[in-house]
Amino acid sequence: GDALGKRVKPLAESVGSDMVIPCDVTDNGSMDTLFSEIGERWGKLDMLVINAAYLPMLSPVNDIDQKDFGKAITLNILATQALLANFDPLLRRAASARLLALSTSVARTPRAYWGAYGASKAALETLVGAYGEEMKNISAIRTHIVDPAATRTAMRARAFPGEDPATVKEPEVAADAIVDLVVADT
């Protein structure tokens, strides 16, 4: 959002001009281009934000559609591990790198019909948490898992189609809180 862009833009300007690399984080070829371009251009990565997520159809656990669940596993877990593995060398080269992953309360507190999404996010939290533990004594990389709670997004609208969007905070509010967290940790 604009609020996040205004606060982060000066950081981007301090390391060079902006770069946009459209890619599908579930496609290895696309990801290879992303890793290569960032590595060649800057040689390090100060911050990695893992925000991409897929919400499978909400259903009882015994009715989870395997194909739909597979999409959640691919994006929410496998792509996260690929990002961690491939960006690790660049994060280690930064003076004080930060890794931030967005998650959800259903990763820690199971809720009826949210089993597929909650399980995929619980796995994401475990991966990021383990990575943070592995890095804390050997690098300057610090990890954060953030649950922005109810936020006005397309995913939220899909999960709660009858909800009045005006009753849920705007993404800029969550973005400002996330930026404040990261800035306070530097």
Q: For residue 86, what are the contacts with CB-CB under 8 A and spacing of at least 6?
A: 31, 35
- How many CB atoms lie under 10 A from the CB of residue 79? 22
Catalytic pick from 54, 113, 117, 131?
Answer: 117
Give the residue carrying structure tokens 């833009």.
9
Closest Cα to residue 183, out of 65, 101, 96? 96
117: annotated active-site residue: yes
Q: What is the dihedral of CA 121, 125, 128, 132, to 10 degrees?
A: 170
| φ/ψ of residue 22, rounded to 5 | -65, 135
Q: State the catalytic residues.
A: 117
